[in-house]
Amino acid sequence: MSLKSKVLAVTLTGTLAAGGFVGINNLSNSPAATVAAKAEVSKANVSQKAPKNVIVMVGDGMGIGQLEVARLLEHGRDGRLFMESLENVALMHTYSANNNVTDSGAAGTAIATGTKTNNESIGVDAEGNEVKSMLDAFQARGKKVGVISNNTVTDATPAAFTASVANRWSGQEEVARQMLAAEYDVLLGGGASYFGPKKQNGVDLVAEFQENGYAFASDRDQLNSVGTPDKLLGLFHSSYMNYKTDKDDVNSQEPTLNEMTKKGIEVLSQGKDGFFLMVEGARIDHASHAADATGIWKETVEFDSVVEEVVNWAKDRNDTLVVVLADHETMGISATETMDIEGLKAIDVSPEFMAGKLVQENGTVTDESIKSVFKEYANIDLTEAEVAELKNNIKDTDGKVYAAYRTGWEIGSVIAKHNNVGVVSREIRAEGATGGHTGNMVPVFATGLGSERFEGVLDNTEVIKLIAEAARHEYAQPSGK
């Protein structure tokens, strides 16, 4: 959020008064108002000690189906993902202010600020008024704060915690500027292009961060050797970071999500008053948009391993709350009875990578390259009819071939069909504005101080209130907001 929005109350409370956090983000008439009743019922059972640290971990697009696909491919039907072992579990509704199905901007804003907003909006309410986030609230209380994502750090979820812009797609340059102005302690992920002179009217924002005392890292080696500076900026790709499946094939020099999170905690935990950290496993959502069950498996398992490391770090400290959740579900992913698990496990690159291997001649992709790519990377022999259909599906209304990521959506849908993956059809995906998001409820897992509040069926606006209640926070929004 911009500096002008950082106004906070001075009281510490065990529960939130009506004039506190609920009131300032206009939640008194929302589903979040039910939290007070829930808290009253369980007051005798909740923690009486406030967490020093709060870590929110967001698996973007990670619904129940994504978890089940990942679990089956990684551990088999008798195995479990680590996050399933966390002692407090809830389900969460995700709709936005103007749609039954949210996008990541509105979903991130609801989680970060407790405010329903319109799809594509970031850090503002449905009327466009700026609303503050829990990250800003923790920072104003003297805690170190940061965000980590394997998407761009300026995209929807990290932006919802750190900025206010009218539109997520056109506002990423402004998000970067607001991050600089707010002096957040840790920013790690992709999106270097949004900090560079070409997108910042000739200004090098990275240089300005460094002038303001930030250490900077641009690859894995630099991150691992940077030590524990007071403030850290790490930008490891011009756009979103590479899929887990593709890193070896593209000779990636990026750190893993685990390495970024470990370093982030090292830097933030230097603060004597504790810290707030948001970690996003963003590429679960991207793989889901492409109906890429193999990618969903790999990205979800990586995210799960980060959850395990974070929980293991926190478990003996008795001073940390960890909340793991999704912002929404993508593409209605499900583990069908006939899903070809072994066939999916044999694929080791993303549909986007496959799209990059297609050969274009005279403005169209050649039949031969389509057949060879599917055979080499997905072990699928396409029929002539399937080749013709794919060629038609990867062109826009002007007859131009889509960019690799968008072509990857179509390739992934073909692979999902051949391997009997349960998924929203490409036709339904094309008709919606979110690229295949659904309104399905998503999981919430929690552990540590105050985690017992995360039970039952929640709305996404309730997350911030439960965290605030656990942390004994009461806030005030600037007048008129």
> What does the pLDDT read at residue 19?
30
Mean pLDDT across 210-236 = 98
Q: Say if residue 34's pLDDT is above 80.
A: no
Q: pLDDT-derived band of residue 32, with 50, 70 and 90 as boundaries? A: very low
pLDDT above 60 for 471: yes
Question: Is residue 104 among the annotated active site residues?
Answer: yes
Say what the pLDDT of residue 406 is. 97
HSE-up of 117 (CA within 13 Å, CB side)?
A: 34
Report the 3 state secondary structure along 388-453.
HHHHHHCECCCCCECCHHHHHHHHHHHHHHHCCCECCCHHHHHHCCCCCEECCCEEEEEEECCHHH
pLDDT tens digits along 262-310: 999 999 999 999 999 999 999 999 999 999 999 999 999 999 999 999 9
pLDDT over threshold 70, residue 2: no
pLDDT band at 472 (very low <50, low <70, confident <90, very high): confident
Condensed to tens digits (0 to 9), the pLDDT of residues 101-118 reads 999 999 999 999 999 999
> What integer best gives the mean pLDDT of the chain?
91
**pLDDT recorded at residue 473:** 74
Buried b (16+ CB within 10 A) or exposed e, 64-87: bbbbbbbbbbbeeeeeebbbeebe
Report, as an integer, the average pLDDT of 135-139.
96
Q: Are 76 and 68 in contact (CB under 8 A)?
A: no
DSSP-derived 3-state class of residue 168: coil
- pTM summary value: 0.91
What domains can be seen in the chain, in order of their start residue? 3-334+436-470 (3.40.720.10), 341-419 (no CATH)
- Of the candidates 30, 96, 104, 305, the residue annotated as catalytic is 104
What's the whole-number mean pLDDT along residues 21-31? 40
Residue 220: pLDDT band (50, 70, 90) is very high
